[in-house]
Amino acid sequence: MCEANAYLLKDGKETLIMKSVDTLRPEEKGIYIQNIFGEQKTIKARIKEMHLVDHRILFEEYENK
């Protein structure tokens, strides 16, 4: 399987935001993610790093300025 778990880095802490992510798409208001179970959301973040061998995507929250 090729799915990855998605984590959000905020204030130095990583939080799991979705398991088994299958689709990731940049959109105007953030990044759309969907998993193999149909759960979906758009997050206001950017990709910090991806480790596909480890099935892991790390997002970093936008800084509000």
Domain ranges for the chain: 4-61
The token pair at 25 is 């798409």
Instruction: Report residues of the chain scoring pLDDT below 50.
Output: none
Cα 55 vs. chain centroid, distance in angstroms?
11
pLDDT attached to residue 62: 78
pLDDT attached to residue 13: 95
pLDDT attached to residue 58: 98
pLDDT attached to residue 2: 77
pTM, rounded to two decimals? 0.88
CB atoms under 10 Å from CB of 37, counted, come to 10
In this structure, the chain runs to a length of 65
Q: How far apart are the first and last CA of the chain?
A: 39
pLDDT attached to residue 63: 67
According to DSSP, the β-strands at 30-35 and 40-43 are antiparallel
pLDDT attached to residue 25: 97
| Residue 60 contacts residue 49 (beta carbons within 8 Å) | no
